Structure 1
Amino acid sequence: MTPSVQSREFDSRDPAAIHRFLARTYGTDLRIRAEETGYHFVHQRIDAGPFALTATGQTAHLDIEVGEMDGLVVSRSRTAHVKRTCEGSTHRFGPGDVYLTTRPGRPFNLRWAPGLVEFCVLDLTVLTQVATAAPARRPGRIRFTDLGATDARLAGQWRKTTSYISDVVLSNPSTRTQPLVVGNAARMLAAAALAIFPNTAFTDETSADRRDASPATLRRAITFIEENADRDISAADIARAATVSLRAVQLAFRRHLGTTPMAYLRRIRLDRAHHDLIRADPRQETVSAIASRWGFASHSRFTARYHASYGVPPRETLHA
């Protein structure tokens, strides 16, 4: 199914309208109190289904009580100072900080000073796609143990990731409607969040994983990838099809092919794009359209990868 990527803007000075908008958009119980009257609130959001990117600015000192939220909200303060309180624990964040606004399923309070904050709202199922174990060893809901990034370098990586997705993936009409591109972007955000913020995701390799990383596992995984390369599949889907844990299928690819399941999937998709370029009518198709159909959001990266694999730029193949 083609993803519905929608851009939405909201601009208001009416506190009641602002309250209704936030409750409707984020699907949770909340209360807002403002020290100032007639404050100005601006909200720009790109909703891509499994994730949304938002830039929000306001001119008041707001006290916000937020009920339980199921999604993960990663925030980057651009100019605002934010104080977050949950279960007696208080954290303060300022301009440049990257932090978790939510711990899924737990209510919290915010004290938001005037300024701009960027949010990424991520569906929890995407985290599971990136970090899941085998069904028999499923660790349950992933729990984040700290709100702040592990270090400044990782916080910078989050900024680069969201900028890439906003500027390259979602700003291009030819990529933002492609299921493979949107799915890849969601998992990129999930992987970044799991790398940046301390959490309980299952990552350890076990003796069972090493035993299961067999040639038979690899064959099952490759068969699934080749039969489903046109679908939005994740490493967890590949592991499930191979009837092993995520770690086992990753180990199988590393041990026998020197690569990862997702890198192998990208190689298959590059080959499919190559065949489409050979068969395409250059009067009706473009390199960018074919690349994005196979999950490649960046035209320059696709061109470089294609040239390295086939010795010619993709445009030359299309017009041959």
Structure 2
Amino acid sequence: MTSPLHAQVFESRDPAEIHEFLAATYDPALRLGGGEDGYRLVHRRVDTGPFALATTGQTADLDIRVDDIGGLVVCRTRTARVERACDGSADRFDPGDVFLVTRPHLPGALRWEPGEVEICVLDLAVLAQVATTAPARRPGQIRFTDLGPATPALARQWRNTTRYITDVVLTNPITSAQPLVIGNAARMLAAAALTVFPNTAVTDPTTSDQRDASPATVRRAVAFMDEHADQDITAADIASAAGVSLRAVQLAFRRHLGTTPMAYLRRIRLDRAHHDLVRADPRRDTVSAIASRWGFASHSRFTARYHASYGVPPRETLNT
């Protein structure tokens, strides 16, 4: 099984062709104005399914109106200046700024001056996975209460997250073909977005969550992880299998094991990778391929974790 990763490069000086491409890629109802015949747009995009990352630059003053992009769209200006109007607010952004293009399912307007921007489109279902409080009481639509980052430090966190995913995950053909890696990257982006931009996602455990954070919950969760470690499971999936809320299973692992459910899952996957390295043929198999199969995108981080756990680098295990 491989991920649906699709890399695309589009370049044109034809305004009609540019409009058709942007509408097909982002919003069928997109309206594009401004510019002159012969202005140039270059768009490089990697679409994984649950998220897409793009870098696009153009040479004109463009007016863009969207009705419903259908995902969470985060923009970072590289060299362009952008004005945005959405839900009664109007703002101007300079190179380096990070912002939401619009609230999900609401129209918005942009004035995009010549230059380059980075765009991340995140599936709203991934946001819901990360923010889910309980299997039977999923939150309503998450509402972002501000279209800008809460602090400049959090804006830097967003830039660092997208840079890591671009440089470590998407540029490596081994890791980018692994569903576990792509799933982890999508949830990393979702968690970053929910941290960076103020929103209404519920985070505090309830009285029921406190009661459900029991050793029995841990046992059910661990059994599910052991059985499904090779699949792209989420913390919400683990909570659902344990029959409790996400906050309860997080609290149970912290209370009884001193860790988080996803950190425990990484430990299981590290053990599986160790097992595969022991049985692998060094003439055909590589450390990177085995690590990425179990969801480890960064070779250096995998090596450090492996060495800390087993006392030797993974290459030594493979070659023994």
Q: In which range does the TM-score fall when normalised by the shorter chain?
A: over 0.9
Secondary structure of residue in 2 paired with 1:274: helix
In structure 1, the residue matched to 2:87 is: 87
Q: Which runs of structure 2 are paired with 1:137-156 in the superposition (5 Å)?
A: 137-156=137-156
- Which residue identity does 2:9 align to in structure 1? E
Distance in 2 (CA, whole Å) between partners of 1:168 and 1:288 is 12
State the Cα distance separating 1:86 from its structure 2 match: 2.0
Secondary structure of residue in 2 paired with 1:173: coil
State the Cα distance separating 1:35 from its structure 2 match: 4.1
In structure 2, the residue matched to 1:254 is: 254
In structure 2, the residue matched to 1:201 is: 201
- Which residue identity does 1:15 align to in structure 2? P
- Measured against aligned partners, the alpha-carbon deviations of 1:127-151 in whole angstroms (never above 9, x if no partner) come to 1111101144322111111011111
Distance in 2 (CA, whole Å) between partners of 1:189 and 1:87 is 24
Structure 1 unaligned segments of length 5 or more: list them: none
State the Cα distance separating 1:24 from its structure 2 match: 0.8
Distance in 2 (CA, whole Å) between partners of 1:243 and 1:23 is 42
In structure 1, the residue matched to 2:53 is: 53
Distance in 2 (CA, whole Å) between partners of 1:69 and 1:15 is 21
State the Cα distance separating 1:233 from its structure 2 match: 0.6
In structure 2, the residue matched to 1:107 is: 107
State the Cα distance separating 1:93 from its structure 2 match: 1.2
Q: TM-score, normalised by structure 2?
A: 0.98
- Which residue identity does 1:180 align to in structure 2? L
Q: Which runs of structure 2 are paired with 1:29-178 in the superposition (5 Å)?
A: 29-178=29-178
In structure 2, the residue matched to 1:302 is: 302
Q: TM-score, normalised by structure 1?
A: 0.98
Distance in 2 (CA, whole Å) between partners of 1:208 and 1:110 is 45
Kept in 1: contact 2:135–2:243 (CA 8 A): no
Distance in 2 (CA, whole Å) between partners of 1:59 and 1:208 is 56
- Which residue identity does 1:299 align to in structure 2? H
Secondary structure of residue in 2 paired with 1:137: coil
Kept in 1: contact 2:225–2:238 (CA 8 A): yes
State the Cα distance separating 1:193 from its structure 2 match: 0.4
- The alignment of Structure 1 onto Structure 2 pairs a total of residues equal to 320
- RMSD over aligned Cα, in angstroms? 1.0
Distance in 1 (CA, whole Å) between partners of 2:314 and 2:87 is 56
Which is worse superposed, 262-271 or 146-155? Answer: 146-155
- Which residue identity does 1:254 align to in structure 2? R
Q: Hey, which bits of structure 1, 4+ residues long, moved more than 6 A?
A: none
In structure 2, the residue matched to 1:231 is: 231
In structure 2, the residue matched to 1:276 is: 276
In structure 1, the residue matched to 2:191 is: 191
Distance in 2 (CA, whole Å) between partners of 1:161 and 1:183 is 15
Secondary structure of residue in 1 paired with 2:174: helix
- Matched residues, percent identical? 72
- Measured against aligned partners, the alpha-carbon deviations of 1:21-51 in whole angstroms (never above 9, x if no partner) come to 0111114311111143321111000111100
- Measured against aligned partners, the alpha-carbon deviations of 1:52-111 in whole angstroms (never above 9, x if no partner) come to 110010111111111112100111001111111123321221111011112111011111
Kept in 1: contact 2:135–2:239 (CA 8 A): no
Distance in 2 (CA, whole Å) between partners of 1:50 and 1:142 is 17
State the Cα distance separating 1:306 from its structure 2 match: 0.1
In structure 2, the residue matched to 1:264 is: 264
Distance in 2 (CA, whole Å) between partners of 1:134 and 1:9 is 40
